[in-house]
Structure 1
């Protein structure tokens, strides 16, 4: 799932997301892993957490 899909998704849009990312000369993109535990519990991990 791309970051833009998360932002545009109405289920995720109102959540307090923090962008964690890295920069290279070729990219500027957050690396996110979203684990949906239940419809009411969404766990957001960055790759540094796993």
Structure 2
């Protein structure tokens, strides 16, 4: 946030929040299924950008 008052300090703004309910985004693999929060997945080969499939 810009401050146009030259003799004042920058603004310090603390932001916090929480959420409840179902996640808005679910990530899954056609091979291994849904990924849990913090999960990882390995993909063998090369994926062509924009297609999601190996060439």
Same fold (TM over 0.5): no
Relative contact order higher in (CA < 8 Å, ≥ 6 apart): 1
Larger % of strand: which? Answer: 1
The two structures have a TM-score, normalised by structure 2, of 0.20
Larger % of helix: which? Answer: 1
The two structures have a TM-score, normalised by structure 1, of 0.21
